[in-house]
Amino acid sequence: MESETNRNQSYIHLIRTSRELLVEKIKNTQCLLHNLIKNGVFSTEDEEIVLQFRTRADMVRQILDLVESKGEEASEYLISVIQRIPEAYYPLQPWLKDIGFQASDKIQNVQVINTDPVTSYSKKLKQELRRDCKIIMSYSQKEEMMLQETYVNGVMELLNISQETIGNVVNLTCLFDNNGVINEEGETIFIFGDAGMGKSLLLQKIQNMWAKEESYTDIKFLFRFRCRIFSFFKANVSISLKDLLFRYNCNPDHEPEDVYEYILNFPETVLFTFDGFDEIRSDFDINSIPEVPSPSDPAHPVALLTHLLSGRLLKGSKKILTGRTGCQVPGNMIRKKIMLKGFSTSNLLEYANLFFKEPDIKKHVFTHLNANHNFSSLCTIPLFCWIIFKSYAHFYSMNDSHCFSKSITLSISSVTLTDIFLVLVEVYLSLMSRETNRSQVETYKGCRDTLLSVGRLAYSGIEQSMFVFEQETITSLKVPERYLKLGFLRTVEECGELGDDSSYEFFHVTLQSFFTALFLVIDDQTGTTELLKYFSECSHSKDMEHNHSLLSCVCSKKANQGDPFKNNDHLQFINLFLCGLLSKPKQGLLANLVPSSTLKLKRKALKQKLVQCVRSHLKSLPRSSFMGYNRVHALTHFIWMARCILETQSVKVGKLAAKGICADYIKLSFCGASSSDCGAISFLLNHYKDKLALELDNNNINDYGVRELSPSFCRLSVIRLSVNQITDEGARVLSEELTKHKIVTFLGLYKNLITDFGAQYISRIIIECPNLKHIKLGYNKFTGVGGAHLAEAIGQSSSICDVGMWGNQIGDEGAKAFAKAIRNHPSMSELSLACNQITSSGGKSIAEALRDNTNLNILWLTENKLTDEAAESFAEMLMVNKTLRHLWLVNNTITNEGANLLSKAIEHNTVIEEICLQGNSLTQDTDHLLQTSSRIFCQ
């Protein structure tokens, strides 16, 4: 065979002269042989000759001899196979580069089949994942839902180290880009969120995208772990990294050593997903982890996990770790921090559209969502949304959509989480009994034994911090097999890997909490001390809100007696459901399950305990005076307290808590409050007599949350809702409510999603609320049009004194409108138009208007596009204006010329205290005046 191209190069010669190297580096003879035979270069006799040899090196020698004897084209094809299957022959890639190998067109057209173990293993992993990730696992095993058909991207926010939002993850393909990186050295993408926000499902979606080759094409291996498996290893267990990867995912079918070696050599082709970091409870002694790990030495799985996350093992591999809010991971490991914030309004509509296929039921659901904001705010949490939709679908299929309303007692003002879980359980119970027309009370009454049995299992798990139930436990608690199949529980695969194939877990841990609470309430043997014990475990400790180390979080049991690091959301949920189940509106139902005397006793005890907890919690909160208010700084625990109070639906408890707050400014920023929590906060505040200030900055309340707050707006004089995903709809609700009561003095809406359309609503508030002094609208989505609306409204207000518009896009159109508004404004003393794309044309208008203004003290025009032309106008203005004290022109394009003009002007102005010019186009050789002026800041 004669190669037509590359005539100058003899491939036979090449193979001959590189023989030693080829014999040393070719590990995979199988793949070479396969291709040589498949394409007729080798006959079956040739193959037999090669296979006679016992060592790999001899086989390679024989292959090379045979190939050389077949001529140039055969030799070229062999080298081409080596080049085209880099996974198998990666040690020879530098050699190929050295010889500058480029196969001829003819050889390139000859097929190469990749049968090497690395590629086969990658395919196997993909196949398994494609199968496993197709359906949503947390549903009952009877009805499965296709991931593809129900997955909706929720709100995913990138956070900086101070937990502040720095943008959104637009879609999952952007996870590994450079946007939002907070630590270049870190290798782990940490995704966190509250229970049921969709962390596991998001990982499932990523796995599915990879398996279907829709994304992450540079990844060859995806290893997924649920962190809870790390709790199953005893303290003295040691395994190798190779075993951890292969045994707990799947084994390579061929040459596992070669595959592992490839992984060690190319860690950047590996992606790990670790789900539920907060679920690890291990006895392992954290101090025994070696500083420098070895990829071949066995170690405890927790040590391996630590090394993987920190990049000490398989450095360069990609890692995604999920955990509940509050679960601490050391900053040096984290590359990006992403917070899941559930469904936005549009996500919710998208999900409803996917979930309900029939137009009729879809219509009903949309009507329901629109009519009941309490209901829709619960739906922003994906898990609860699924529960609600599922129940809805069930009742609808029974031809009784009203039953849904009845079951969740829409007659009372609000739907509680207990209502939702009661309905969910009712759905499963009625599926079991196949009696479609029974009322909720009848269904529960008929299934008391089932509830007790499943409840006992849930409770025993909680008692031992156990979320997975082995057969032994199930047998000892005498839980009948058929109850395990009702849909509340599902089998756990990871435990199968550990040698037990019939372990179960509740499909979500909140359901385990619900069943525990139900058990504590309906079990005759449970006394009041047992009933209330989780209240003490959940009492707030300051440490709980501080940063913790990874290791103390991972290895909790012994190291942390009283365990301040333990995530105790599941216990908080038990308390919450206790409050709900023992509330007055649920007595009709509960009276059928518990003797009335017991019920009475338990209700009384719970009420006393709750009141006592509320009192002591409120007493312990830090207080300070702020802006003339008596401010109380509430923490996440306060939100749990408010949730419990809401579940009780008790006016008395609400009043008591409101009284205990003893402050007129409640700061609840960074508390992880969601829209449904606003209902709880509102319930509390409704019992407050006086006006008060509410700060809810940096939470996740969105438009539904604003609606939930509606009943409180008659009391709120300060409303701070910055960084909360509020859109025009939220602005509309605010305008409707605030203009009714007209008491607002401070409205903070910084970093939300309000557009020019919403600007009209905000304008109405500005015009119609005569006490409004401060309005913060920075980092929304206003352009010139919205800016003009707002400016016009501000021009009409005689109360406003502080306006923040930082980081919008109002440009010159907006700037000119603001110029008009401030010219003769009677009250405005601070204005920020920083970072707004304003050029000198807009700047000049503002400067001219300021000649007439006699109130403005501070003006921020930082980060615009102002040149010397604008500086000249400001200089002229300063000769006339006698009120402006601070002028911020940082990060514009003013040169020495403009700066000098300003400098000269302030010689005639004794009022101005500072002109900030840092970040402009100034050079060292500034004028003498500029150098000597102590009121001009250039550096």
Q: How far is the CB of 324 from ligand ATP (least distance, A)?
A: 5
Q: Which of 89, 101, 216, 351 is the binder for ligand ATP (CB under 6 A)?
A: 351
Give just the sign of the alpha carbon dihedral 403, 387, 490, 356: positive
- Does position 929 bind ligand ATP by CB under 6 A? no
Burial of residue 858, with CB atoms counted within 10 A of its CB: 0-12 exposed, 13-18 middle, 19 or more buried: middle
In this complex, which beta carbon is closest to ligand ATP, that of residue 198 or of residue 311? 198
Q: How far is the CB of 393 from ligand ATP (least distance, A)?
A: 13
Nearest distance from residue 136's CB to ligand ATP, in Å? 5
Can residue 117 be called a binding residue for ligand ATP (CB under 6 A)? Answer: no
In the complex, minimum distance from the CB of residue 564 to ligand ATP, in angstroms, rounded to a whole number: 20
Task: Specify the stretch interacting with ligand ATP by CB under 6 A; choose among 199-207, 312-320, 498-506, 923-931.
Answer: 199-207
Q: What is the 3-state secondary structure (H, E, C) of 638-707?
A: HHHHHHHHHHHCCHHHHHHHHHHHCCCEEECCCCCCEHHHHHHHHHHHCCCCCCEEEECCCCECHHHHHH
In the complex, the smallest distance separating the C-beta of residue 289 from ligand ATP, rounded to whole angstroms, is 26
- Is residue 200 a contact residue for ligand ATP (CB under 6 A)? yes
Q: How far is the CB of 352 from ligand ATP (least distance, A)?
A: 11
| Tokens representing residue 697 in the block | 């900055």
Does the CA dihedral 108-110-111-114 come out positive or negative?
A: negative
Residue range at the interface with ligand ATP (CB under 6 A); choices 191-199, 517-525, 660-668, 914-922: 191-199
Nearest to 693 by CA among 631, 762, 615, 614: 631
> How many whole angstroms separate alpha carbon 428 and alpha carbon 437?
14
Positions in 482-521 near ligand ATP (CB under 6 A): 508-509
776 forms bridges with which residues in the sheet?
Answer: 748, 804
Positions in 603-642 near ligand ATP (CB under 6 A)? none
* Closest to 757 (Cα-Cα) out of 738, 777, 779, 732: 732
Residues written for the chain: 939
In the window 323-342, what residues touch ligand ATP (CB under 6 A)?
A: 324
Among 198, 461, 487, 811, binds ligand ATP (CB under 6 A): 198
Q: Should residue 136 be labelled a site residue for ligand ATP when binding is judged by CB under 6 A?
A: yes
Looking at the Cβ atoms of 154 and 301, the one nearer to ligand ATP is: 154
State in angstroms the smallest separation of the CB of 342 from ligand ATP.
8
Q: Tell me which residue has tokens 């609306």.
A: 789
Pick 115 or 572: Cβ nearer ligand ATP:
572
Structure letter (DSSP) for residue 270: E
Q: Is the Cβ of residue 154 or residue 654 nearer to ligand ATP in the bound state?
A: 154
SS3 assignment for 609-637 = HHHHHHHHHHHHCCEEEECCEEEEECCHH
Residue 150 as a binder of ligand ATP (CB under 6 A): the answer is: yes
Piece of the chain touching ligand ATP by CB under 6 A; list 150-158, 181-189, 622-630, 644-652:
150-158
**Residue 190 sits in the site that holds ligand ATP (CB under 6 A):** no
Confirm or reject binding of residue 672 to ligand ATP (CB under 6 A): no
CB count within 10 Å of CB 413 equals 11
Q: How far apart are CA 172 and CA 209, in angstroms?
A: 9
Q: Which residue in 75, 119, 138, 516 binds ligand ATP (CB under 6 A)?
A: 138
Closer to ligand ATP by Cβ: residue 34 or 199 = 199
Radius of gyration from C-alpha coordinates of the chain: 34
User: Would you say 87 or 279 has its CB closer to ligand ATP?
Assistant: 279
Query: Site for ligand ATP (CB under 6 A): which residue of 382, 455, 461, 758?
Result: 382
CA–CA distance, 19 with 62 (Å, rounded to integer): 11
> Which CB, 78 or 191, lies closer to ligand ATP?
191
Q: Is 393 in the site for ligand ATP (CB under 6 A)?
A: no
Q: Which stretch binds ligand ATP (CB under 6 A): 148-156, 235-243, 682-690, 779-787?
A: 148-156
State the residue number with the nearest CB to ligand ATP. Answer: 198
Task: For residue 525, give Cα distances in angstroms to 264, 452, 520, 528, 531.
Answer: 57, 11, 9, 10, 10
**Nearest distance from C-beta of residue 871 to ligand ATP, angstroms:** 51
Q: Which of 152, 721, 769, 828 binds ligand ATP (CB under 6 A)?
A: 152
Is 528 an interacting residue with respect to ligand ATP (CB under 6 A)? no
Position 386 contacts ligand ATP (CB under 6 A) = yes
- Verify binding: residue 383, ligand ATP, rule CB under 6 A: yes
Q: Scanning the structure block, which residue is given the tokens 């409870």?
A: 281
- Residue tagged 């090497």 (tokens): 116
Q: Is residue 246 helix, strand or coil?
A: helix
Residue 345 or 896 having the CB closest to ligand ATP: 345
506 phi and psi angles, rounded to 5 deg: -70, 145
Nearer to ligand ATP, 469 or 860 (CB): 469
- Minimum CB distance to ligand ATP smaller for 276 or for 461: 276
Element (H, E) at 920: none
3-class secondary structure, 491: strand
Distance CA 294, CA 303 (A): 11
Pairwise CA distance, residues 863 & 847, whole Å: 16
Taking the C-alpha atoms of residue 626 and residue 520, their distance in angstroms, rounded to an integer, is 44
Question: Residue count at the site for ligand ATP (CB under 6 A)?
Answer: 22
Among 133, 197, 299, 379, which residue sits at the site for ligand ATP (rule: CB under 6 A)?
A: 197
Nearer to ligand ATP, 171 or 296 (CB): 171
Residue pair 317/270 in contact (Cβ under 8 Å)? The answer is yes
**What span, in angstroms and rounded, lies between the C-alpha atoms of 233 and 219?**
29
Nearer to ligand ATP (CB atom), residue 567 or residue 583: 567
Closest C-alpha among 805, 763, 755 to residue 783: 755
The residues binding ligand ATP (CB under 6 A) are 136, 138, 150-152, 154, 193, 195-201, 276, 324, 351, 382-383, 386, 508-509
